[in-house]
Amino acid sequence: MKIKTKLRLGFMFLFLVVIGFGTISLYHINEISIRSKIVLKDNYNSLVFVSQMRKWLDAQDGLLNDENRKNFYAALESETKNLTEAGEETAVRKLKNYADMLIGGGEAIRQNALRAVREELSRIDELNMLAIVKKNDDAQRATEKATMYLGVTAGLTFMVLFSFVVNFPGFIANPLRNLLEGIREITRKNYSQQLYFKGNDEFNELAKAFNKMARELRNWDNSNLAKLKSEKQRIETIIEQMQDGIIGLNEHQEILFMNRVALDLLQLQQDKVLGKNTSELLAHNELLGRILVEHGKDTPLKIYIDGKQSYFMVEKRAIMIPNVESQDEETLLEVSKSAGNVYILKNITQFKELDEAKTNFIATVSHELKTPLSSIKMSLKLLGDKRIGEMNNEQLQLIGHINDDSERLLKITGELLNLAQVETGNLQLNMVQVDPLEITVFAMEAVAFQATQKEIELQLVSRKKLPFINADVQKTTWVLVNFLSNALRYSTMKSKIIIQVVQINKEIEFSVKDFGKGIEEQYQKRLFDRYYQVPTDGQNKSGSGLGLAISKDFIEAENGKIWVESAIGEGSRFCFSLPLA
């Protein structure tokens, strides 16, 4: 039976119960009304008629004149037509006979007849009064009986309705509750959950559909589980065969996987680390702590393995998965959440060795070039001496060009030597307490001749007294000279360069501001990279691309910071800051 049919039958049953109760109530109320009418109508009329006859009889002390007799007999006639009680007919007949004797007999007969008439009137009165009392008692009993029947009917009706109200909603709510519980179990991946409903209604069909869905989900989950296991084995095989060390941690910092390369580097055994928390392993394995702490740093991790030192770069990758969590029985969907991290140890030993070979080669070549270049500079100086002989203008120009190129080569070789020192870790710093203005004056004097040639004003902005700083005077001056040389190279004739030295909190900030073309934002981020050169329009000679990179290494080695501020058409401002002594 369909749910709609059951609902219709249920409400039809309620309707019939209400109609039945109303019918019974109307029947008993009608019975009470009828009995009440009988009491009020028949016997009351008889009492009225008797009262009227007594009235006309007493009007002349028992003597009836024509008018009284007429009224008396009219009331008697009405009473004759209203006989309702047993014995009342006999009493009325005798009353009529005795009333007739009041007219035709003598005084004695009239007195006896009057007495008999009064007795019969009293008898009719008594009969109707007794009837009224009896009928009143009957009506009272009928009322009590009707009240009892109505009470019983009302009680039964209430019980039926109460039972219907209590049980009928469960007919709808219970299957829905079971369905909700089944859905919750399915969300918990309990695909063995089944629903069973009696009957052939829609709920039974819903249970069949739900059970089929659960079976399909179980089959799908089993097939996916097998597929996932296969994929897991394939991924584990790939990870195991990779040449880089790989360590996987879950969100609770527990080891998920660690390939053979990582196990060999850390000198661990796989069965003793899987599932372990890193806090347990760090106490006995310092190298693991360094890997987890030093990830993301530019400095390679040096590890001694197989009797030689190897270099590894540590990369950290977050494991992101879709986020599906249940809170308060409501599903909340977010894009993704972290399920842990993967640490990759890339073996860069080969590249490190090549880089060291390159650095040694550059250092050797730069060192070997410096001596002949110095000789060339000395020879050019001697050629320029007029005591050796006069030269024409073309010769002087050629010597000038050779001298400029020699200076440029000497600068490049100097930068390459400095770079070699930085890359090999042999950078020597001579840290002393020094006045910042002293460094600034040294640098300005070093480029004063170039500024004079281009008629550029060097303007120093600073207080006369500044706190001392801890710095390597030679290397800091070299950085400031590099800033000034670049500013002079890209400044126009008869312009101005502002050198500013100010104290900001616990640091001294040096800055060189020019008013040239400026540098586009896309190039600013790479200015301090090695060998990087900003594209030029050909008017300015490009350097080696090492000056700013070496400047960055020098300043950071002195615990300082270096940066650039520039905008097209507004010039550039190169800055570095060093901590106070």
- Decide if 545 contacts 458 (C-beta within 8 A): no
Mean pLDDT over residues 95-116, rounded? 74
pLDDT at 457 over 90: yes
Fold category of 349-427 in CATH = Helix Hairpins (1.10.287)
Confidence of residue 367 (pLDDT cuts 50, 70, 90): low
Q: Which residue has the tokens 């009405």?
A: 78
Confidence of residue 469 (pLDDT cuts 50, 70, 90): very high
pLDDT at 504 over 50: yes
Please give the C-alpha separations between residue 352 and each of 242, 304, 314, 532, 556, in angstroms, as whole numbers.
20, 14, 14, 21, 22
Confidence of residue 498 (pLDDT cuts 50, 70, 90): very high
Predicted pLDDT of residue 179? 79
Question: What are the residue boundaries of the structural domains of the chain, listed by start?
Answer: 3-172, 242-323+335-347, 349-427, 428-579
Q: 455-490: string of b/e by CB count within 10 Å (b at 16+)? A: ebebeeebeeebeebbbbeebbbbbbbbbbbbbbbb
Predicted pLDDT of residue 157? 79
Please give the C-alpha separations between residue 544 and each of 80, 197, 408, 409, 529, in angstroms, as whole numbers.
151, 85, 9, 10, 11
Of 284 and 294, the structure prediction assigns the larger pLDDT to 284
pLDDT > 90: what percent of the chain?
Answer: 16
Of 542 and 76, the structure prediction assigns the larger pLDDT to 76
pLDDT at 328 over 60: no
Mean pLDDT over residues 370-388, rounded? 73
Mean pLDDT over residues 350-376, rounded? 68
pLDDT at 325 over 60: no
Provide the 3-class DSSP secondary structure of residue 402: helix
Architecture of the domain defined by 428-579: 2-Layer Sandwich (3.30)
Predicted pLDDT of residue 421? 64
pLDDT at 510 over 80: yes
- Decide if 516 contacts 440 (C-beta within 8 A): no
Q: Would the CA dihedral through 22, 23, 27, 28 be positive or negative?
A: negative
Encoded amino acid at 209, one letter: A
Structure tokens at 455: 């008629």
Structure tokens at 56: 């006309």
CATH class of 242-323+335-347: alpha beta
Predicted pLDDT of residue 451? 92
Predicted pLDDT of residue 413? 72
Confidence of residue 329 (pLDDT cuts 50, 70, 90): very low
Highest mean pLDDT: which of 231-240, 325-334, 510-519?
Answer: 510-519
203 CB contacts (<8 Å, ≥6 apart)?
Answer: 3, 175, 197
pLDDT at 456 over 80: yes
Highest mean pLDDT: which of 200-209, 377-386, 525-534?
Answer: 525-534
| Beta strand 496-504 pairing with 457-462 | parallel
- Decide if 316 contacts 343 (C-beta within 8 A): yes
| Beta strand 301-305 pairing with 561-567 | unpaired
Mean pLDDT over residues 388-411, rounded? 75
pLDDT at 93 over 60: yes
Mean pLDDT over residues 115-140, rounded? 80
Confidence of residue 295 (pLDDT cuts 50, 70, 90): low
pLDDT at 171 over 60: yes
Predicted pLDDT of residue 563? 95
- Decide if 257 contacts 236 (C-beta within 8 A): yes
Predicted pLDDT of residue 287? 81
242-323+335-347 and 428-579: same fold? no
Give the full edge-to-edge strand order of the sheet including 330-347. Answer: 255-258, 245-250, 330-347, 308-327, 301-305
pLDDT at 458 over 90: yes
Provide the 3-class DSSP secondary structure of residue 12: helix
The full 3-state SS of 137-159, as one line of letters, equals HHHHHHHHHHHHHHHHHHHHHHH
What is the chain's mean pLDDT, rounded? 79
pLDDT at 545 over 70: yes
| Beta strand 431-434 pairing with 330-347 | unpaired
Mean pLDDT over residues 145-174, rounded? 76
Predicted pLDDT of residue 324? 54
The 10 Å Cβ neighbour count of residue 392 is 8
Predicted pLDDT of residue 117? 78
Mean pLDDT over residues 538-563, rounded? 80
- Decide if 250 contacts 290 (C-beta within 8 A): no
Cα 136 to chain centroid, rounded: 80
Highest mean pLDDT: which of 24-33, 117-126, 367-376?
Answer: 117-126
Q: Which residue has the tokens 């005084």?
A: 107
Q: Which of 157, 150, 98, 158 is nearest to 123 (CA)?
A: 98
Write the pLDDT tens digit of every residue in 44-79: 778 888 888 877 777 766 566 677 778 878 888 888
Q: Which of 41, 75, 71 is nearest to 59 (CA)?
A: 71
- Decide if 514 contacts 494 (C-beta within 8 A): no
